[in-house]
Structure 1
Amino acid sequence: MRATSAAHAHADPSRPRADRPPAALLQQSASARLKADGSLSDVVGLSATDIWAVGQEDVWEAWQNRSVITHWDGSAWTEFGIRNDASGAGHLRSVAAPSPREIWAVGDGHDGLPYVVRGDGSAFDRVSVPQFGSRDWLGGVAAVPGRTVAVGSRGGTPLIATATSAGWTVTEGENDGTLYGVALTRKGDAGWAVGDDGGRPMIMRFDGDTWDPVPAPSVEGGFLRDVAVDGPRKAVAVGGVYHDGGKITPLVLTWNGKRWSRASIPTRYAELYGVTGDGKGHFWASGYDPEHAGQAYLLRGGPSGGWRVVRGKSSPAPRTMRLQAVTHVGDLTLAVGHVVDADERYTDVVERFQPGTPKTVTATPKTQSPPAQR
């Protein structure tokens, strides 16, 4: 576990004005009905009826927890197993889907090695990457047709692993740090990876050939956990800033094609874990607001650069809700994460924000057993 809550790693629980979401958005809270102590770490949507999420069950049992891959088809969540899985994945942190027939996920294996999974929409297999070792850790993955990139760390230095038709290549950064989030342009000819060096934000840029560090605003105590890209002149990275006393303020950095700059956020204290965009200049960031710990918390940004808060419904019972990741497809914004109750029990959560009249959401899961190994 890292010292901070990551977009693709379950957050440690903390202890808990009812604001309504904007009038234009209707909110629904549901669950993928994972087993005891379940948490969803990441989500990606191809359409409103084709959404993939990953995470883990039994989050407190480090050597017994089980990875989760689950799919939303518009009416129910279906869990999928992993074939040729001798050791078992302890935790899947990130998922990417360049097409309905190509889904990638990364995380940890119980064998002490990074865990990489690839699926075709009906079955999933663990992928062997010979270049990985016990010093490696993976936090994020992005994929487009023909290129998959996973990021993390190798013994305290940034790690970037790329898969193409030629196979896997693994490169290390020259300075200390860990990468948690990565995003590619639609063509895969450019991209960004974000993280921190233990004291300040870290950003690396892909120019179609190599990954190189680029200047980021010097924010003492700052860290980045996810990034979304909307063409060569627009990208957003999110995270937080540590302060004395353990308080964290939200951090949003924006790229305008020439430089990264810090955006003004209408929340004093909050943690941001995930960010997504719609390809039209709008972005959504998900996280946790300690002053409204029991409510869903998102930020919504437009092409003009302004950001506003979107909240879910309040709860009569004490609880803490952390939305680890968010995706946007069509007019649907869907965020996933977990709720921690007063007894420190985890329950996975799925929050939907959508214009118009809400439809009834069926959360009854189905289970897809892995086919026999071939």
Structure 2
Amino acid sequence: MTRRPVRRAVPMCVLFVGLMAGYLLRATSVAHAHADPGRQKADRTTAEPEVAQGASSARLRPDGSLSDVAGSSSSDIWAVGQQSVWDIWMNRGVITHWNGTSWTEVGIKGDTTGAGHLRSVAVSSSDEVWAVGEGHDGLPYVVKGSSDGFDRVTVPQFRTGDWLGGVTASTGRVVAVGSRDDRTFMAVTSGSAKGATWTTALGPQGVLYGVAVSGKSDGWAVGDDGKQPLIMRLSGTGWKSVHLPSIKGGFLRDVYVDDRKHAIAVGGVFRSSGRIAPLVLRWDGKHWTRNDPPEKQAELYGVTGDGDGTYWVSGYDPAHGAEGFLLRYDGSKWTTLRGRAAAESRTVRLQAVTHVAGLTMAVGHVLDADDHYTDLIERFGPPEGQEGSTAG
């Protein structure tokens, strides 16, 4: 786990709130990489300045939050998260689908124990979607399905206390990452058919939150070792840690891969003040190097791209906490994108972002002045009336 400031001599009522806040930070502010099969080389319609096109909700039950989003097209997008986030024993995982017009919750069939928080989703094809998180039986939770419904997938190697944070999927391959006994943990299947064989492996000390695979023998998983960022690379010989710049207090939450020579990972750095500075690392085919965005205090959660060198990063900017926050990087310049302002006191966190067919969609939640959560979906694109806009 990442380091967090230690507070002592707190009243019990404040301690409870603090513990819940820490749980939610780990549980809802983690976004995860996934391969979008609809990803294509950009047609450069996104070169136009982007603006917030509108905010909406998937209309989850009270205290709902969305943690991740992935899609194969602008009319086939999936998001996962949880409802009743304040109750760590009774919270319920949720899977919801966008068909280009509306969001519809899709259920998990025949599972009496039920899903807790679902943290990550990956779309292998329009008929095969995977999600991971935690179950109320104490085991990691893996589901596979489509708009017809989802089924829990049994992985015999899982043990009580194992934790999954990210998943990526392509035809015939699924990779999930997390932690076991304070060590990095990977679960992989080489086949997506029912009854496919899973293999698991342990890595170095730490936890993995995000994973992306660009081929059968090339991919990245990101997290931290409790003191510094951690990146592991998949090669023909398995997963191995790679050398990174020394970044004390750093952590990574998400990774996106263009190809073997281009990837980007995002996260943050804990400061002695208790604040979090943004962290962006870029892969050039040989080295991971740091690339600082313009905001100096923003928290970065998720990253996606168009497959042609443009990236979008979702997060939270405490200086504009009531507005949705995205960063866009075109390979040379950072641009800050903000959601529309609101009059009421609130905090907006965009936990994850996807970009498909010219549509940039970010998901997360709004936390109001009474500490109630409401799921949030923000769309970004060219101003209305410009060619390539995606109002809907």
Within a 5 Å distance, the mapping from 1:210-229 to structure 2 comes to: 210-229=238-257
Give per-residue Cα distances to partners, 1:313-350, cap 9 Å, x unaligned.
11111100000000001111000000000000000000
Unaligned runs of 5+ in 2: 5-21, 31-47
Give the length in aligned residue pairs.
349
1:34 aligns with 2:52: no
Aligned-residue offset at 1:188? 3.3
3-state SS of paired residue (2:254): strand
In 2 relative to 1, CA 23–257 (structure 1 residues): closer, same or farther, beyond 3 Å? closer
SS in 1 for 2:110: coil
Show structure 1 runs of 4+ deviating over 4 A: 1-8, 358-361
Aligned counterparts, 1:1-374, within 5 A: 9-11=27-29, 23-165=49-191, 167-173=197-203, 175-185=204-214, 187-304=215-332, 306-357=333-384, 361=392
CA distance in 2, matches of 1:69, 1:342: 27
The one-letter code matched in structure 2 to 1:253 is L
The answer to whether the Cα contact below 8 Å between 1:253 and 1:262 also exists between their aligned partners in 2 is yes
* CA–CA distance in structure 1, aligned partners of residues 321 and 205 of structure 2: 33
The one-letter amino acid paired with 1:178 is: V
For structure 1, the residue ranges without an aligned partner over 5 or more in a row are: 13-21, 362-374
Match of 2:41?
none
User: In structure 2, what is the Cα distance between the partners aligned to 1:63 and 1:33?
Assistant: 22
The residue identity in structure 1 corresponding to 2:363 is V
- Provide Cα deviations, 1:168-188, integer angstroms capped at 9, x if missing partner: 000001x21000000011x33
What secondary structure does 2:273 align onto?
Answer: helix
Deviation for aligned residue 1:146: 1.0
Is 2:52–2:339's contact at 8 Å kept on the other side of the alignment?
A: no
Richer in helix (by share):
2
AA in 1 matched with 2:375: D
Q: Indicate how the Cα distance of structure 1 residues 308 and 209 shifts in structure 2: closer, same or farther if over 3 A, else same.
A: same
Task: Provide the rounded CA distance (Å) in 1 between the counterparts of 2:62 and 2:75.
Answer: 26
Q: Which residue of 2 aligns with 1:364?
A: none
Q: Rate the CA distance shift 1:235–1:23 in 2: closer, same or farther, 3 A.
A: closer
Structure-2 change in CA distance of 1:126 and 1:245 (3 Å): same
TM-score of the pair, normalised by structure 1: 0.90
Tell me the secondary structure at the aligned position of residue 59 of structure 1: coil
How far has the Cα of 1:8 moved from its partner?
A: 8.0
* Structure 1 residues 107 and 188: CA distance shift in structure 2, 3 A: same
Q: CA deviation at 1:77?
A: 0.4
Shift of 1:356: 4.4
Q: 1-side partners of 2:24 and 2:257: how far apart?
A: 19
Task: In structure 1, give the amino acid aligned to 2:211.
Answer: V
In structure 1, how many angstroms separate the alpha carbons of the residues matched to 2:26 and 2:127?
23
Q: What is the aligned partner in structure 2 of residue 16 from structure 1?
A: none
**TM-superposed deviation, 1:25:** 3.0
Root-mean-square deviation (CA, aligned residues, Å) is 1.9
Q: Distance in 1 between matches of 2:187 and 2:255?
A: 17
Give the TM-score normalised by the residue count of structure 2.
0.85
Quote the Cα distance in structure 1 between the aligned partners of 2:26 and 2:247. Answer: 22
Paired AA for residue 167 in structure 1: T
CA displacement at 1:208 relative to structure 2? 3.9
